[in-house]
Amino acid sequence: MSSIQEEIKKRRTFGIISHPDAGKTTLTEKLLLYGGAIQEAGAVKSNKVKKGATSDFMEIERQRGISVATSVMGFEYRSKKINILDTPGHQDFAEDTYRTLTAVDSVIVVIDVAKGVEAQTEKLVEVCRMRDTPIIVFINKLDREGKDAYDLLDEIEQKLGLTVCPLSWPIGMGQDFKGIYNLWEQNLQLYTEQKKQKIAQSIKIEGLDDPAIDQYIGQEYATELREDFELVDGVYPEFNRESYLKGQLSPVFFGSALNNFGVQELLNCFVEIAPEPLPKAAEQRLVKPAETVFSGFVFKIHANMDPKHRDRLAFLKIVSGKFERNTAYRHTRINKDLRFSNPTAFMASKKSVVDEAFPGDIVGLHDTGNFRIGDTLTSGEQLEFKGIPSFSPEHFRFINNADPMKAKQLNKGIDQLMDEGVAQLFTLENNGRKIIGTVGALQYEVIQYRLEHEYGAKCTYENYQAYKACWVESNNEEQLAEFRRLKSRYLARDKFDRLVFLADSSFSLNMAREKFDQLKFHLKSEF
């Protein structure tokens, strides 16, 4: 077996998705704690001067306590190399999350025991199901009062359309939370409090009939657990790894990330069952990880990782072959060979230079402006990986310069932030005014904050009435000319100079579709 294949077998690259506040960042942190990647966990929730969560390294995230940029973290555990992509839970940053999901081989969905399945989770799981991504569910915050385990599993099946299979089961909940029965490893995890510290104690048992159970959790709870289990056995399918890898079966674990409870069990199972790096479709062919030739794609760009140095990092997911430092690779969109002298591997906000990387790994490439999201790098073959579209924004505002002396800084800042995919920029054809379109209103604050703190530029906004941005495709020059004449007020160019129609209402979009039947109006940029 070649060394590339050995390296592939070790890799597990996954994303964590959830609704805001379900405890995703805390879970990420505890996984890093078990992987020995960090020594202490930060108090994520408190916005005081405590250590912020390791994965939230942008100032505005610290202030708001939500993750607005996807961070990448790697660590080793049980001789596996694990890459976690932490995604923003906040729906205003959904687009960043959709793009990140193109770079993962599996996901863990975090659900709050009290709130159950929330809207944002439904949307994100839908994206995973479209791609048949394998999903593990972690039901969090069991130390609080919440919904009954059966009700939760029903809700997950109905709202998320997943077939579930519990691999651990809670004993009590909230005030009465006693611990977890772990089917995967056949043990009891007891939840006890010592000197105000909540700790987990693991006890090996011989199946559910083991009298030791009664001894540890008391007869009442033991009887309830056995009864629950008879039901679980009858209702839910047995775990089958093949079905899980096809995205047809989702294992469920229970726990409390904040109290380090049930997290290690999740991780132990994950490293055994989760998929290694998978093949990915390019426009030209299916690319397999074990191929000897290198290929990868950029799924995220982050400007100013370090405000002292104006650096931009392009996050590259390696799809096949081996990536090596100081080797020339072909940037297929601009048809140019590039070399990277200090490619970066990630451990939250700590970074280190890597000499080589393998399929499944995420590498940061220092970028002077060559990259945009979706770009492909190869050993020379002309490939384009697909599936990283821009979606039509929901909100539109004019952006104005609030400090005429800083026009250059403002333009540079807008340019770089748009490359990152924070939002989309449209320039009106008739007067050249710039409009920023975003998925959520919170992005405007982030843009304003970052322009000021990273580029020294100030901006103000004013509303622009638009319903949707549609990319226009045409094979009929005559009709296009007529459309441009009639709708000139609503036409703009996006950052890549594509024609965009900013429809002011659903009515006017439908009318345009009817009247100009030879034109196509797309709500996403990939068509």
Q: pLDDT tens, 375-407?
A: 899 998 888 887 666 778 889 999 999 998 999
CB 193 within 8 A of CB 134: no
CATH 3.40.50.300 fits 395-522, yes or no: no
Q: Which pLDDT score, from 0 to 100, does residue 61 have?
A: 56
**CA 301/CA 373 separation, integer angstroms:** 7
Give the predicted TM-score (pTM) of the model.
0.78
Which residue, among 33, 12, 28, has the nearest Cα to 270 in the 3D structure?
12
What's the pLDDT tens digit per position in 430-470? 999 999 998 778 889 888 988 988 889 999 999 999 999 99
Q: Is the pLDDT of residue 52 over 60?
A: no
pLDDT average, residue stretch 174-199: 77
Q: Which CATH class is domain 3-173+236-273?
A: alpha beta
Query: Where is average pLDDT lowest: 91-105, 233-247, 309-323, 352-366?
Result: 91-105
Q: Which pLDDT score, from 0 to 100, does residue 46 have?
A: 36
**CA 415/CA 199 separation, integer angstroms:** 49
- Work out whether strand 80-86 and strand 71-77 pair parallel, antiparallel, or are unpaired: antiparallel
What's the pLDDT tens digit per position in 325-345? 999 999 998 899 999 988 888
Q: How far, in Å, are 39, 171, 201, 260, 446 from residue 191 at the CA level?
A: 22, 10, 7, 10, 40
Buried b (16+ CB within 10 A) or exposed e, 100-126: bbbbbbbbbbbbbbbebbbebbeebbe
Q: Which pLDDT score, from 0 to 100, does residue 48 have?
A: 35
Is there a shared CATH topology between the 280-378 domain and the 395-522 domain? no
Q: Which pLDDT score, from 0 to 100, does residue 499 have?
A: 94
Query: Where is average pLDDT lowest: 98-107, 140-149, 171-180, 277-286?
Result: 171-180
Task: From the options 2.40.70.10, 3.40.50.150, 3.40.50.720, 3.40.50.300, give the CATH code of 280-378.
Answer: 3.40.50.300
Q: Which pLDDT score, from 0 to 100, does residue 519 have?
A: 92
Residue 473: HSE in the Cβ half-sphere, 13 Å Cα cutoff? 8
What's the pLDDT tens digit per position in 233-260? 888 999 999 999 999 999 999 998 888 8
Sorted by where each begins, the domain ranges of the chain are 3-173+236-273, 280-378, 395-522
Confidence of residue 98 (pLDDT cuts 50, 70, 90): confident
Q: Is the pLDDT of residue 207 over 80?
A: no
**CA 226/CA 129 separation, integer angstroms:** 33
Q: Which pLDDT score, from 0 to 100, does residue 51 have?
A: 47
CA 87 to chain centroid, in Å, comes to: 4
Task: Name residue 209's amino acid.
Answer: D
**CA 89/CA 284 separation, integer angstroms:** 34
- Helices (H) and strands (E) counted in the chain, each on its own, are 14, 31
